[in-house]
């Protein structure tokens, strides 16, 4: 049964602070614990978590204590056993979660796990519902921003790749793992002799180790044929139709093999395997993404954070976790409306990977000005002058004047291209004729290029004019990604999108908590302007 925890609002005559030496009490007041208690613990809204509990039975262990301990776990980067020891014996941790007498409340290890399981299951079973942890993140963000006077109008966005608790597996290793899971799900009496051998101690060594390159295809084919046999057995078993093992083995065979008209199963070529195919027998949501010369398996984390120069420090304003095959532009395009609604963002600074027609339209619709530091891909002119040197109408994209100053005889646009026609004499006597797009026709000369090229060229010109400003405001978000990875976000200890999203939510929220505590403890010094000397104006601060 759900019950909100308000007992911390009532003072007790047995509080440990009442018996402390005044000097020790002053040290306590200057520590992180009072800041955490006042600005994190007391701001947690427990009511949304009522959906995790029933309406009868014993009251739940306080949600604000459980969630605060999850934050503290990631703040201290400690294990569950270390966290429980801190809860039992560390007075700072007790003070932070509203307990004033050491040893007053017992917390079983299993209670901690049950709470996480409830959050995981809710996220997995209700993907379209309000995210419990994101709601707390947003609530804390707004309180931090208000208390510290942090403006959220200017923001920057980036993505980073990370793994869940899986290994990088080749096709043979993946097939073996799926096969073993499927065979273990089959009762011993229903296994054939060939399937029983799969669980033998020497089977893995025989199939995966000491494998020569010429034998790879044959062994992979053998493993997949065994997977097909295991699938047929599982399908015939009562109660296994909806099992996870059957679902995974069917997906593996669907993605790794082709079935001919004669019913013969053949192994697909490596190039025919999609990036969204199964990457691990233990994490169905992880995907494959190639970045540069390296391949990555797992997920992508998108974060946005404030970047106003007037802010004493910056706060993370948004996050989301998606399979790593999703393009950066698509991620931000889906998040922009929420970022606008939640934080009132007016300017967004991003790199070239976020450039797309859709994202510019979404930004305009939400009244957000997009600032790019570059564009993905180089400007390919083939030795020709830039299309931006042609004077075009911004609304209609009609060419008004060429770089040589000549006005076209006629001009117009089609669905995707713009064209203009010039007199032979104008092009023949032009100094730019060798590098121009002009093509000589029977009656005149024609210039034609894609409208997309005009838009891209205009964007490049804007980027060039504001490159230093845009780059300086966006670059620091790389440090935020680095800070998250140093605290374990490079490879998480959980699997599956629901669990990965939950742990990511905690780690991102903790970054804001740590920055706010540092602010309250005076860790950020105000920016100062150097006074002018000898009548020389003071430089404008960056």
**pLDDT at residue 542, as a whole number:** 44
Q: Of 57 and 82, which is predicted with more confidence?
A: 82
Encoding tokens for residue 2? Answer: 């759900």
pLDDT, the chain, mean: 88
Quick one: 195 and 87 in the same domain?
A: no
Q: 300 in helix, strand or coil?
A: strand
**pLDDT at residue 111, as a whole number:** 94
Contact between 75 and 483 under an 8 Å Cβ cutoff? The reply is no
**pLDDT at residue 519, as a whole number:** 96
Give the CA-trace dihedral at 52, 54, 60, 63, to 10 degrees. 30
Q: Is residue 540 part of a domain?
A: no
Among residues 240, 272, 304, the one where a domain terminates is: 272
399-422: pLDDT as tens digits: 888 888 888 898 888 878 888 898
DSSP 69-117: HHHHHHHHT--HHHHHHHHHH-HHHHHHTT--STT-S---HHHHHHHHH
Mean pLDDT of 517-528: 87
> Cα separation of 524 and 518, whole Å?
7
Among residues 272, 288, 318, the one where a domain terminates is: 272
Quick one: 119 and 178 in the same domain?
A: no
pLDDT higher than 60, residue 163: yes
Q: How many residues does the chain have?
A: 542
Encoding tokens for residue 42? Answer: 């007391």
288-301: pLDDT as tens digits: 998 878 888 999 99
**pLDDT at residue 205, as a whole number:** 85
In this prediction, what percent of the chain has a pLDDT beyond 90?
57
The residues near 134 (Cβ < 8 Å, ≥ 6 apart) are: 319, 505
Contact between 280 and 177 under an 8 Å Cβ cutoff? The reply is yes
Q: Of 533 and 253, which is predicted with more confidence?
A: 253
Quick one: 40 and 111 in the same domain?
A: yes
Quick one: 126 and 184 in the same domain?
A: no
pLDDT higher than 90, residue 183: yes
Mean pLDDT of 487-499: 93
> Cα separation of 408 and 426, whole Å?
9
Mean pLDDT of 211-238: 88
Quick one: 18 and 112 in the same domain?
A: yes
Mean pLDDT of 248-275: 88
Q: Is residue 366 part of a domain?
A: no
Q: Is residue 234 part of a domain?
A: yes
Quick one: 101 and 212 in the same domain?
A: no
Quick one: 124 and 67 in the same domain?
A: yes
Q: How confident is the model at residue 244 (pLDDT cuts 50, 70, 90)?
A: very high
**pLDDT at residue 516, as a whole number:** 97
**pLDDT at residue 88, as a whole number:** 95
**pLDDT at residue 405, as a whole number:** 86
> Cα separation of 17 and 103, whole Å?
14
Q: How many independent structural domains does the chain possess? A: 3
pLDDT higher than 80, residue 187: yes
Mean pLDDT of 438-456: 83
**pLDDT at residue 429, as a whole number:** 84
**pLDDT at residue 467, as a whole number:** 60
Q: Is residue 402 part of a domain?
A: yes
Least confident interval from 5-19, 235-249, 264-278, 433-447: 5-19
Q: Is residue 473 part of a domain?
A: no
Q: Of 492 and 393, which is predicted with more confidence?
A: 492
**pLDDT at residue 468, as a whole number:** 65
Quick one: 255 and 186 in the same domain?
A: yes
- Phi (first) and psi of residue 264, to 5 degrees: -80, 135
Q: Of 246 and 532, which is predicted with more confidence?
A: 246
> Cα separation of 45 and 139, whole Å?
8
How many CB atoms are located within 10 Å of the residue 146 CB? 9
Quick one: 115 and 189 in the same domain?
A: no
Element (H, E) at 229: helix 216-236
The residues near 37 (Cβ < 8 Å, ≥ 6 apart) are: 95, 96, 97, 98
107-160: pLDDT as tens digits: 999 999 999 999 999 988 887 767 899 999 999 999 999 999 999 999 999 999
Least confident interval from 55-69, 147-161, 523-537: 523-537
Quote the strand ranges of 435-480, DSSP E: 439-440, 445-450
pLDDT higher than 60, residue 535: no
- Residue range(s) defining the domain that contains residue 449: 387-457
**pLDDT at residue 46, as a whole number:** 94
Among residues 440, 457, 474, the one where a domain terminates is: 457
Q: What is the 3-state secondary structure (H, E, C) of 167-210?
A: CCCCHHHHHHHHHHHHHHHCCHHHCCHHHHHHCCCCHHHHHHCC
Helical residues (DSSP H) of 271-395, grouped into ranges = 328-343, 357-365
Q: Is residue 398 part of a domain?
A: yes
> Cα separation of 273 and 295, whole Å?
14
> Cα separation of 507 and 484, whole Å?
7
**pLDDT at residue 352, as a whole number:** 78
Q: Is residue 446 part of a domain?
A: yes
Encoding tokens for residue 223? Answer: 């493993």
pLDDT higher than 50, residue 15: yes
Judged on CB neighbours under 10 Å (0-12, 13-18, 19+), 473 is buried
Quick one: 122 and 178 in the same domain?
A: no
Quick one: 118 and 192 in the same domain?
A: no
Quick one: 207 and 109 in the same domain?
A: no
Q: Is residue 504 part of a domain?
A: no
């Amino acid at each position: 049964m759900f019950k909100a925890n308000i007992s911390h609002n009532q003072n007790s005559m047995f509080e440990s602070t009442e018996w402390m030496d005044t000097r020790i009490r002053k040290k306590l007041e200057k520590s992180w614990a009072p800041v955490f208690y006042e600005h994190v613990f007391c701001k947690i809204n427990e009511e949304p978590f009522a959906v995790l509990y029933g309406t009868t039975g014993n009251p739940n262990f306080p949600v604000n204590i459980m969630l605060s301990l999850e934050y503290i776990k990631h703040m201290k980067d400690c294990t569950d056993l270390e966290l429980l020891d801190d809860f039992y014996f560390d007075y700072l941790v007790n003070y932070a979660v509203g307990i004033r007498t050491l040893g007053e409340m017992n917390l079983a290890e299993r209670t901690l796990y049950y709470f996480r399981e409830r959050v995981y299951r809710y996220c997995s079973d209700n993907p379209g519902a309000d995210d419990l942890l994101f709601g707390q993140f947003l609530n804390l963000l707004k309180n931090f921003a208000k208390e510290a006077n942090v403006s959220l109008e200017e923001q920057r966005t980036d993505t980073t790749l990370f793994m869940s608790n899986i290994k990088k597996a080749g096709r043979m290793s993946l097939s073996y793992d799926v096969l073993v899971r499927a065979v273990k799900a089959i009762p011993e009496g229903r296994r054939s002799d060939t399937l029983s051998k799969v669980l033998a101690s020497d089977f893995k060594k025989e199939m995966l180790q000491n494998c020569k390159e010429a034998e790879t295809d044959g062994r992979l084919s053998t493993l997949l044929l065994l997977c097909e046999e295991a699938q047929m057995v599982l399908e015939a078993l009562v109660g296994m139709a909806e099992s996870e093992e059957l679902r995974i083995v069917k997906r593996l065979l669907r993605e790794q093999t082709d079935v001919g008209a004669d019913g013969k199963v053949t192994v697909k070529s490596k190039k025919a395997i999609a990036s969204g195919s199964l990457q691990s027998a233990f994490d169905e949501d992880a995907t494959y993404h190639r970045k540069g010369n390296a391949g990555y398996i797992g997920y992508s984390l998108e974060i946005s954070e404030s970047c106003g120069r007037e802010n004493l420090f910056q706060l993370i304003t948004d996050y989301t976790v998606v399979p790593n095959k999703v393009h950066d532009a698509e991620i931000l395009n889906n998040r922009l409306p929420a970022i606008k609604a939640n934080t009132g963002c007016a300017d967004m600074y991003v790199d070239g990977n976020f450039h797309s027609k859709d994202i510019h339209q979404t930004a305009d619709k939400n009244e957000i000005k997009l600032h790019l530091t570059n564009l993905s891909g180089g400007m390919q002119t083939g030795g020709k002058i830039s299309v931006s040197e042609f004077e075009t109408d911004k609304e209609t994209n009609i060419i008004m004047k060429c770089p040589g100053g000549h006005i076209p005889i006629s001009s117009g646009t089609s669905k995707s291209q713009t064209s203009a026609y010039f007199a032979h004499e104008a092009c023949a006597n032009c100094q730019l004729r060798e590098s121009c797009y002009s093509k000589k026709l029977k009656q005149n000369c024609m210039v034609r290029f894609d409208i997309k090229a005009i838009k891209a060229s205009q964007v490049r010109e804007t980027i060039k004019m504001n490159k230093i400003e845009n780059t300086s405001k966006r670059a620091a978000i790389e440090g935020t990604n680095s800070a998250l990875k140093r605290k374990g976000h490079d490879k998480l200890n959980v699997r599956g999108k629901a669990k990965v999203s939950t742990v990511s939510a905690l780690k991102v929220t903790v970054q804001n908590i740590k920055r706010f505590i540092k602010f309250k403890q005076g860790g950020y010094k105000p920016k100062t302007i150097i006074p002018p000397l000898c009548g020389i104006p003071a430089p404008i601060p960056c």
